[in-house]
Structure 1
Amino acid sequence: MFEDIIDEIRRLFKKSSGFIPLHEPRFQGNESKYVVDAITSTFVSSVGQYVDQFEDRIAKYTGARFAIATVNGTAALHIALILAGVKKDELVITQSLSFIATCNAISYIGADPLFIDIDKQTLGMSSVSLSDFLESKTEIKDNNCYHIPSGKRIAACVPMHTFGHPVDLEKITELCKVHKIPLVEDAAESIGSRYKGKHTGTFGLLGTISLNGNKTITSGGGGAILTDDEYLAKLGKHLTTQSKIPHRWEFDHDMIGYNYRMPNINAALACAQLEQLDSFVESKRRLSEKYNCFFKDYPILFMQEPKDSYSNYWLNAIILSDKSERDAFLEYSNDQLVMTRPVWRLMHKIKMFSNSYCEDMSSSEWVSERLVNIPSSVIL
C-alpha cells in the first residue's frame, strides 16, 4: 500500500525520481519584475510603494477594511493580541494542535494559553468543547469573562485554521460574543480559504495571516493583521513601526513599539504572488480531489474541507490506522525521497506549556497519533 501511495504522488507531481518537497513556492508571475523595481527604487526596507499596495490588495482580497503588513505571521499575531487587550498573566483560549507560533505569540505578552480540544472534521478548535468549557468553567463579571478555577480573565480566543480548513466560525464567533471574549483568528495557514463565502481572518475583532516560504503564497517572510476596526488598524500600524510619531526629522516615540513592519522588497514579492493566489488555490483544490479519489481505494482517510467551507488545502493530510502505521509510512516515504511529516507535537506536551490549563484532549491526541501531511505544492 505504501508503495502505491508513493507511486501516485510521483505520478501527480510528474517526477519519477528525486526529491519531492512537502510544499515549495511557485514563482511564475511578476515576482522578478516587482522585486527588481523595489531594488531600483532603493526603498527595500519598511517604507515603499509595495508595502502600501500589498496592504490595500490583501484587504480588498479578504474583504477586511484594513490590513497591516508585518514581517511574519507570528509578529502579526503578537500585535493582534496586544490590540485585543491581552495583558500579562491573563488567559488566551486556543488549541493544543497548532504550530508553536500560536502559543509563542501569547507568551510574548506574558499571558498563558488555555487549551481546548479540536474537532476531528475541521482539525481546529471544537465549538462543542469550547461551549462546554465556557458554560461550566467561566463566569462574566464587569463585562469580562473569567476562568472560575484560576480567577484569571480570559482575554481572547484564538482558533487556528489548521492546514487551511476553517473552524466552525459561526458557532465560535457567537460563543465569543455571548461570553465577552475578543475573537482573534490565527489564519496563518488559510489565505484563500472561506467559511460561508467569507474569508477566514475576518470574522473576529482581528485576524492574522502568514506569507512564510512554505505557505500557499509567500513573500519569503511576511504576514498581515486584518481588522474592520479603524482605531485598531491605526494603532497596529503605529506599534509595528516602533511607535514613532510622524515628523519630517525628529525621532520621538510615545509607547513601546516593535520593528515588525514588512520590508518593501518582501512586499513586492507578496504583490506578485497575490495576483496568482486564486489560480494557486484552484490548483491545490484539484490536487486534493485527485488525492481523495485515490485514497477511496485504501483504508486511509483523506481529510476534506469541512461543511460550509472552501479550503485552500494548504497541506493535504491523511489519517492512518494508528501511530505504528503512521511512523512506518513516515519512514518509508522519506526513505523514498518523498517528504511527509506528522502533525506538530501537541502544545500541552511541550515543556514550556506543560503546566498550562488544559481541557480534555481526546480528539487532539487521536489525530496527533495518526495524521500525516503529504506533498501539497501547486502543480504546474
Structure 2
Amino acid sequence: MKYIEEINFIKKLYRNDEHVMLHAPIFMGNEKKYLDDCIDTTFVSSVGQYVDRFEKDISSYTGATRAVVCVNGTMALFMALKLCEVKPDDEIITQPLTFIATANAIAYCNAQPVFCDVDEETMGLSSRAVRKWLEENAELRADGCFDKKNGRRISAVVPMHTFGNPVKIDDFVKLCEEWKLALVEDAAESIGSFYKGRHTGTFGKVGCMSFNGNKTITCGGGGMVLFMDSELGEKAKHLTTQAKIPHRWEFRHDAIGYNLRMPNVNAALGCAQLECIDKILANKRETAMAYREYFSNSKEIKYFDEPKDCKSNFWFNSILLPNKKAQQEFLEETNDNGVQTRPIWELMNRLPMYKNCQCDDLKNAIMFADRVVNIPSGYRK
C-alpha cells in the first residue's frame, strides 16, 4: 500500500489498531447528571433551566451579547437570514465549498445563492473574490445593493469558517458596510475558534453555531444564534418560540413564528459539554501539532495549518494530496484499513439544485475539492 506509513501513524496516534473514527463525540463530564435532572424534574422539552443556562454560557464563552438556542445549525442560519430581512428572489453571496446547509438555508428563504471563490489560506470565502464580483456585477442605489444584470437585490454575505479555520472576517465587516450588505457568519464548525483574539460568530450582524453529534462539543443536535445587538437577539427568541406573547395561560401570537426551540435535554448536554471545552480543545490542538510535525516531512502531502491571526479549534484536520487521483487513492486505502477519512464536500454549484447559480471562476474551491482529505480529529483518550 502506498499510504501504509500514514495509516500506521494515525492508528498509533489514537492508540487504536482496529478502527479510528473521523470525529466521535466525547462525554467526560456532567452529561448523565444533567440528563437525569431533566428526567427527574420532567423538564425534557423546550422549557427548562438548561435552555436558559446554555444560552448564557455560550454568550459568556463567545463574548456575544445574546445567544438564542435553536433546533439545529441549519435552522439557526435560516433564522439569521430572516432576521436580516432576506426576501424572496434576493441574492446571497456565499462560498461553494461548504456543507449543504449553508446553501439550503438560503433556499429556504426563496433567495438565490451566488458562489464566490475561497481563500487559499483559510478555505473560507474570499473577501477579494466577493469584492471583485460586486465591482463587476453590482451597483449601489439609495435603497441597497442590486445585481446589474437581473435587478435582484443583493442582501447579505455568508462566509463559513471552514473546518474551524476563521476567514478574514474583518475584511468582510468593511466590505459589507461599503456595499450595504448584512454580514451573517456561518460559524457552525468553529466554536472555540478566534480571529485576532475575538470569537467567530461575533463579527457579523448575526452568527450561527451547530452542535451536531460530530462537532467539537455536541448537544446530539442543536444550534445557536449569536448577536451583539441585544434587541435583535430578543426578537430571535420571540420568533423561534412561535412568536407567543408571554402569559400564564393564554395562547396569543403577534407574528408568524417558528418552532425552532431546542429541548431542555439537548441543552443539558450542551451545558455539560461546554464545561469541558478547554480540555477538549487542548487535546485537539495536541493532535493537530502531531499531524503538523509528521506531515512536515512529507514530500507529497501538505498539512493545512491554522491561518495567520487565527486560533483554530481544529475541528477537522485536513491534508492536501497532489491531485484527484492521489486523493482517491488515499481515501480508499485509509477507509479499507481501519482509518476513517473523507473528502471535502461536493461543491454546491455542482449539485443539481444549485447548478444554475451565478459563480466566479472558483479556482481555489475546485483545487481544494480535488485535493483535500479530512483525517481523524476527535478527542484522543
TM-score (norm 1): 0.98
Structure 1: how far apart are the matches of 2:173 and 2:285?
27
Structure 1: how far apart are the matches of 2:279 and 2:355?
41
**1:370 counterpart = 2:371:** yes
Structure 2: how far apart are the matches of 1:255 and 1:107?
22
Residue identity opposite 2:186 in structure 1: D
Structure 1: how far apart are the matches of 2:350 and 2:253?
40
> Match of 1:7?
8
Residue identity opposite 2:227 in structure 1: T
> Match of 2:350?
349
Shift of 1:335: 0.3
> Match of 1:254?
254
> Match of 1:325?
326
> Match of 2:91?
91
> Match of 1:169?
169
> Match of 2:194?
194
> Match of 1:48?
48
Structure 1: how far apart are the matches of 2:108 and 2:238?
18
Residue identity opposite 2:37 in structure 1: D
SS at structure 1 position matched to 2:150: coil
> Match of 1:315?
316
**1:58 counterpart = 2:62:** no
Shift of 1:136: 2.1
Structure 2: how far apart are the matches of 1:3 and 1:297?
15
Structure 1: how far apart are the matches of 2:131 and 2:254?
40
Residue identity opposite 1:93 in structure 2: I
Structure 1: how far apart are the matches of 2:150 and 2:60?
42
Residue identity opposite 1:116 in structure 2: C
Q: How many residues align?
A: 379
CA distances 1:327-349 after superposition (whole Å, capped 9, x unpaired): 01101100002100000000000
> Match of 1:214?
214
Shift of 1:119: 0.7
Residue identity opposite 1:245 in structure 2: I
**1:23 counterpart = 2:30:** no
Structure 2: how far apart are the matches of 1:173 and 1:240?
26
Shift of 1:231: 2.1
Percent identity over the alignment is 51
CA distances 1:19-64 after superposition (whole Å, capped 9, x unpaired): 2110001100111111111111101000000000000000010000
Structure 1: how far apart are the matches of 2:174 and 2:281?
29
Residue identity opposite 1:27 in structure 2: F
Structure 1: how far apart are the matches of 2:281 and 2:193?
9
Residue identity opposite 2:132 in structure 1: D
> Match of 1:153?
153
Residue identity opposite 1:2 in structure 2: Y
CA distances 1:285-326 after superposition (whole Å, capped 9, x unpaired): 111110010011112110001110000010000000100010
Structure 2: how far apart are the matches of 1:285 and 1:116?
30
Structure 1: how far apart are the matches of 2:248 and 2:232?
24
Residue identity opposite 1:121 in structure 2: E
Structure 2: how far apart are the matches of 1:234 and 1:142?
29
Structure 1: how far apart are the matches of 2:223 and 2:40?
24
Structure 2: how far apart are the matches of 1:106 and 1:39?
37
1:261-280 aligned at under 5 Å gives the runs 261-280=261-280
Deviates more, 1:48-57 or 1:137-146: 137-146
Deviates more, 1:141-150 or 1:124-133: 141-150
SS at structure 2 position matched to 1:249: coil
SS at structure 1 position matched to 2:261: coil
SS at structure 2 position matched to 1:183: strand
SS at structure 2 position matched to 1:155: strand
Residue identity opposite 1:278 in structure 2: D
Shift of 1:130: 1.3
Residue identity opposite 1:191 in structure 2: I
SS at structure 2 position matched to 1:132: helix
SS at structure 1 position matched to 2:145: strand
Shift of 1:257: 1.4
Residue identity opposite 2:294 in structure 1: F
Structure 1: how far apart are the matches of 2:357 and 2:48?
42
Structure 2: how far apart are the matches of 1:285 and 1:138?
41
CA distances 1:75-113 after superposition (whole Å, capped 9, x unpaired): 100100000110111011100000000011111110011
SS at structure 1 position matched to 2:182: coil
CA distances 1:173-221 after superposition (whole Å, capped 9, x unpaired): 1111111101000000000000000000000000000000000000000
Structure 1: how far apart are the matches of 2:301 and 2:151?
44
Structure 2: how far apart are the matches of 1:255 and 1:126?
37
Residue identity opposite 1:8 in structure 2: F
Structure 1: how far apart are the matches of 2:104 and 2:256?
19
Shift of 1:143: 4.2
> Match of 2:230?
230
What's the Cα RMSD here? 0.9
TM-score (norm 2): 0.98
SS at structure 2 position matched to 1:92: strand
Residue identity opposite 2:3 in structure 1: F
Structure 1: how far apart are the matches of 2:260 and 2:368?
34
Residue identity opposite 1:328 in structure 2: E
CA distances 1:107-159 after superposition (whole Å, capped 9, x unpaired): 11100111010011100001111121122221111241112122111111100
SS at structure 2 position matched to 1:233: helix
| Runs (5+) with no aligned partner, structure 1 | none
Structure 2: how far apart are the matches of 1:242 and 1:129?
38
Q: Which runs of 4+ in 1 moved over 4 A?
A: none
Residue identity opposite 1:249 in structure 2: W
SS at structure 2 position matched to 1:369: helix
